[in-house]
Amino acid sequence: MQEASRPRGGRHADGHGARRSGHARSGDDARDGRTAALESSVRVRAQRAARRPSRRAVIRLAGALVVALALSAEGADMKLTLGTATPGGGFPVYGDAVIAAVREVDPALQIEPRNTKGSTENVPLLERNELDLALVQGEVAYEALQGVGRAPSPIRIVAAMYSTPGMFVVRADSPARTIEDLRGKPVAFGARGSGLVLLARYVLEGLGLDQERDFQAVYLERAGDGPAMVQDGRVAALWGGGVGWPGFTAVAKAPGGARFIVPDADGLRKIQAKHPFLKPLTVPAGSYPGQDAPIQSLGSCSISAVDTGRVREIHPGVRRYLGELGLLTR
């Protein structure tokens, strides 16, 4: 159990309706000029990220990668749809930042965000070509690409976004100190379509627990509904993940503060032994109000993905450079 004592602190939605993109053509010279400018932009952003590996730098780099995908189609104005998740979670915030970054590089490129049910909806939407780009949580991407319970997905990973160490947050005055203390209690595991729900399932399985049987599992219509439910006592804890995750920030900022609960060292070893694709991750001290010490947990890296055709449109020069950066992984 790790603490973030200080201020403690939202609720409802679901989004639908995607639009396919359109392409316009121009000459090779124009395309190569745009590609050169793009490579320069990606390089600058990557160098900034290396010097200052902040969330903002990662977002800017992700924006450049989206531009790489879009501008590669030989040219002119384009409209793309980016699938995120339900309001109140990290993906809509990240998606808005990506779109703003892209707009700085090329105002002619239009990216329309789409609130979806989350990662588990984003993958099939990409596969049906109802999205051009999507944000996908690591465990969902793992299952899709490995063919867990389904045929392997043909979607392609463009870039890693940020790591997502899983944690529970409780009010600072909660008697719960361990995951065992939460057994039998109402716990909000997130929006049902969120990849965080899947991460929780893997973590709890590794501890010999069942998300449905051992807890009063609560699934949200929107990720933003969770903090208020913790504050008013409707749930004993909220599950989430990552550094600066909006739900955790809201609870930690509310009057009274918050504490974070994660598996102990033995629990972390058990989880990783059962699910080796989950990696040890650290939430640095100060990631949330009142969090004075680093928190050790595990999880994976969320990714940005594209439909199967879009990635093949990347100009060879851009593809080579992204490969050198280790960002075009699949």
Q: For residue 302, how many other CB atoms are within 10 A of its CB?
A: 26
Asked if 302 contacts 136 with a C-beta cutoff of 8 angstroms, the reply is yes
**203 and 104 within one domain:** no
Which has the closest alpha carbon to 102: 51, 34, 30, 41?
41
Using CB atoms within 10 A of its CB, is residue 200 exposed (0-12), middle (13-18) or buried (19+)? buried
Kindly state whether residues 266 and 171 are assigned to the same domain.
yes
Report d(CA 31, CA 269) in Å as an integer: 51
Residues 115 and 17: beta-carbon distance below 8 Å: no
User: Cβ(42)–Cβ(101) under 8 Å?
Assistant: no
Give yes or no: residues 72 and 179 share one domain: no
Per-residue pLDDT of the chain (330 residues; tens, 9 = 90+): 544 543 333 333 333 333 333 333 334 444 444 434 444 443 343 333 333 334 454 454 455 555 555 554 445 567 889 999 988 888 898 888 878 877 776 677 788 999 999 998 999 999 999 998 899 988 898 899 889 999 999 988 777 778 899 999 999 999 999 999 999 999 999 998 899 999 999 999 999 999 999 999 999 998 899 999 999 999 999 999 999 899 999 999 999 999 999 999 999 999 999 999 999 999 999 999 999 999 999 999 888 887 665 544 444 544 454 444 344 444
CATH number at residue 254: 3.40.190.10
Single-letter amino acid, residue 183: R
Q: Are residue 230 and residue 310 in the same domain, yes or no?
A: no
What residues pair up with 165 in beta bridges, in sequence order? 299
pLDDT at 109: 73
- Looking at the structure of the chain, the number of domains it has is 2
Range of the domain at 39: 28-162+303-325
Is residue 17 situated within a structural domain?
no
143 and 187, same structural domain? no
